[in-house]
Homo-oligomer: A and B are copies of this chain.
């Protein structure tokens, strides 16, 4: 398992020592995110008269709003993935159906080719027989011409 690490981060000008299973990079990223929010709050005239307590709660609400927005996005993406998985399943099903049909078509084509081949052999034989029969019919004529 991951080892517990600790890191010093500065939030709102105060130093906090955080420990957890997350790396320092992650903890600094979270601290920076909160400091950016604090910076936004400081620039808002309408928040200036509020108590520190009130500001802290508003900041919590603001962060929680980001969280719920991201959570909603997760749910939306999960539904999208479900739809895409269904689409993939259907496409694979179509591909398999096509493959089965292609194999049966291939078999039918080979049979037709085989029949064709036999018919061509048969044709050659019939033509030879006919030639023999026709030649046999007028044997004298051939002989006279010789």
Contacts and interface: CB of A to CB of B under 8 A. Distances in A.
Interface residues of A, number: 67
A83 to B, nearest CB: 9
A32 to B, nearest CB: 10
A103 to B, nearest CB: 11
B64 A33 contact: yes
Interface in A10-69: 11-12, 14, 16, 18, 22, 26, 29-31, 33-34, 52-54, 56-61, 63-68
A96 B107 CA distance: 22
Q: Is the interface of A mostly helix, strand, loop or mixed?
A: helix
Nearest to A137: B137
Interface string A78-97: 10110011011001101100
Interface in A99-146: 99, 101-102, 105-106, 108-109, 112-113, 115-116, 119-120, 122-123, 126-127, 129-130, 133-134, 136-137
A5 interface: no
Nearest to A71: B70
Contacts of A119: 116, 119-120, 123
